[in-house]
Amino acid sequence: MKLHKATIIRCVYGMVFIGLLHALPLQFAAADTRAVIVAGLGGNAEYRAAFEQHSETMIGALQSTTTSPDHVTLLTGATSNRDSVLASLQLLTDEINELAGTEEAVDTVVLILIGHGNMNRDGWQFNVSGPDLSVVDLIGALAPINVAQEVIVASASASGGMLKSMSQPGRTIITATKSGGETIAVRFTEFFAEALGSDNADFDKNELLTVREAFTYANDATQSYFKDQKLLASEHARLEGDDAVSVTLATLGALRDAKSNPMIAALLDERSELEAAFYAVRSRKSELPEDTYYSELEAVLVQIATLQQRIDAELGNEPSGESVE
């Protein structure tokens, strides 16, 4: 059977990159994720427009991880206020409790805050219409949420000031700054939205955009911006939590299309099994003769590439380039 070199290279690159990150292969399934995105006060027309644009990009990405578009809530403009945020989180808590133990149980909650923030004697504050949303408010609202994985993205100035008080097991936190002392409006949001809105940040090419990948892309792009502009960096993003490589913020390509295509879903399940075989071979590297190890590794990678070609063909995305036997 002829295989396109582009397909083989794509699969080999992706699998090797995953191996370097020690990520685990993921069985394809429509994750039951709930997300709330809050676009806070802009302060001027430019920031308001940017916050709304970035939040719309993030909505599209997160909806690809859910079983319904309604599972992603956006609070912006008049609805972006303390009471609305707390009410949305309470409704989310009620829904999670109602679905607990059923096939529709929620396993992941994502909260994204886009805007400006500040520190005072009581801790970090997120700027919204009316009274600011405080870190104390967030701690109280999130405490009763019982899911396997929580992700909080505070893409706002001074957001590093919330890290210590918000960190807990099962929760992954991204902040645009390293502390409450970095108070200048952040660039991180632009690049984080860029990561979620394309496949540029899918470094392992497995069509699952993880928290780690999105953070790495946005952080690198932010620091490159300051370097290219010959400016002293006024923000240093932070990521804390053990689930950053397993929580998905967007599905891409075939995975996104597979939500409505059972045939692709079945092929992707088969790909997951082959990926597991890949890691099984890698784990035996020290036990096998070198020639045997690389021979077995090559055999699995060729099977993955063959399967990927079938997936591409099913999607009408037959790769271009030279074919090999």
For residues 12 and 152, state if they share a domain: no
With vertex at residue 113, the alpha carbon angle to CA 195 and CA 232, rounded to the nearest 5 degrees, is 65
Alpha carbon distance 150, 138 (integer Å) = 13
Alpha carbon distance 169, 240 (integer Å) = 10
Structure confidence at residue 259 (pLDDT) = 66
Q: Are 113 and 54 within 8 A, CB to CB?
A: no
For residues 98 and 14, state if they share a domain: no
For residues 231 and 285, state if they share a domain: no
Structure confidence at residue 251 (pLDDT) = 87
For residues 42 and 136, state if they share a domain: yes
Domain boundary among 224, 254, 284: 254
For residues 190 and 315, state if they share a domain: no
Q: Residues with Cβ < 8 Å from 256, sequence gap 6 or more?
A: 64, 207
Structure confidence at residue 68 (pLDDT) = 87
Cβ-in-10-Å burial (0-12, 13-18, 19+) of 87 comes to middle
What pTM value is reported for the model? Answer: 0.79
Structure confidence at residue 230 (pLDDT) = 97
Range of the domain at 313: 3-25+260-324
For residues 84 and 197, state if they share a domain: yes
For residues 39 and 184, state if they share a domain: yes
Per-residue pLDDT tens digits for 55-103? 999 999 999 888 889 999 999 988 899 999 999 999 999 999 999 988 8
For residues 114 and 164, state if they share a domain: yes
Structure confidence at residue 141 (pLDDT) = 97
For residues 152 and 299, state if they share a domain: no
Alpha carbon distance 308, 268 (integer Å) = 9
Q: What is the DSSP letter of 230?
A: T
Domain boundary among 254, 274, 300: 254
For residues 207 and 319, state if they share a domain: no
**Residues in the chain with pLDDT < 50?**
1-10, 13-30, 320-325
Domain boundary among 254, 280, 302: 254
For residues 238 and 274, state if they share a domain: no
For residues 54 and 127, state if they share a domain: yes
Domain of 55, CATH number, reads 3.40.50.1460
Total count of domains within the chain: 2
